[in-house]
Structure 1
Amino acid sequence: MTDNGRESLEERRKRLDTELAARRATDTREAADENRAIENRKGYAVAVKLSSEFIAAVIVGALLGYLLDHFAGTGPWGMIILLLLGFCAGVLNVMRAAGMVAAPHPADRVGKSKNDRDDA
């Protein structure tokens, strides 16, 4: 090759290196933006889950209180008490889902552990 050909090859190589560096910078920016978007979507999903658990507990408490008042004729007391219990259950559910309170042990849910049943 001639010196002129080598110079043009060298110029092309430098130009390609510059373009590749610019492309790599763009790709890393796009990857960082995508990672941020993924984290935001995860955050929104957790927020919707926690808020729906809380709202569901409050609504169930209010509905049960209304039904108790309607069929037992207890006035507003059933609604008030069960609404407050629903609120407390909603807060507890949110705290469990957020990891601030441990979930109950499976033996506590059933009432007796396997060892207690074997002794009886």
Structure 2
Amino acid sequence: MTDNRDESLEQRRRRLSAALAERDAEEAAEAKRDAQSEESRRGMALGLKISSEFIAAIAVGAMLGYLLDRFAGTGPWGMIILLLLGFCAGILNVLRAVGMVALPPSLAGGRDKKRKP
């Protein structure tokens, strides 16, 4: 009778171990999928940030150029020059966001530590 009980207990223990191993494998696969989707979301957020900064810089340059031309009567030159400056500012923003260009020392120093007088 005790042998039968021990065998039954051992069988139940094996089934439970197999079920736990299966559950652990499923949880590991789910954690891996979650990590991949999180990385994908980060990439999408960075892409949207970079594109919106680039487009905003060009739009601001074009608007300021249009207003300058309209009120100062400078013809198309104000818009052309400020549109090009906006494009350059957009490129600089993209390069800064990607990390290929560092912030100016005046801005970088203010973020890391306070200036001493």
Query: Given the two structures, how large is their TM-score scaled by the length of structure 1?
Result: 0.85
- In structure 2, give the amino acid aligned to 1:20: L
> How far, CA to CA, are the matches of 1:66 and 1:43 in structure 2?
35
Offset of residue 74 of structure 1: 1.6
Structure 2 residue 72 is matched with structure 1 residue 76 = no
Offset of residue 60 of structure 1: 0.5
Offset of residue 50 of structure 1: 0.9
SS at match of 2:74: coil
> How far, CA to CA, are the matches of 1:76 and 1:16 in structure 2?
79
Offset of residue 48 of structure 1: 1.2
What is the match of residue 110 of structure 1?
none
What is the match of residue 10 of structure 1?
10
Structure 2: 5+ residue stretches without partners = 108-114
Structure 1: 5+ residue stretches without partners = 108-113
- In structure 1, give the amino acid aligned to 2:104: P
Deviations 1:27-63 (A, max 9, x none): 0000011111111111111111111111110000000
Query: Given the two structures, how large is their TM-score scaled by the length of structure 2?
Result: 0.87
> How far, CA to CA, are the matches of 1:35 and 1:102 in structure 2?
29
> How far, CA to CA, are the matches of 1:10 and 1:70 in structure 2?
89
State the identity as a percent.
63
> How far, CA to CA, are the matches of 2:63 and 2:30 in structure 1?
49
Count of paired positions: 109
> How far, CA to CA, are the matches of 2:86 and 2:11 in structure 1?
73
Offset of residue 21 of structure 1: 0.7
Moved over 3 A (4+): none
What is the 5 A alignment of 1:99-114? 99-106=99-106
Structure 2 residue 45 is matched with structure 1 residue 56 = no
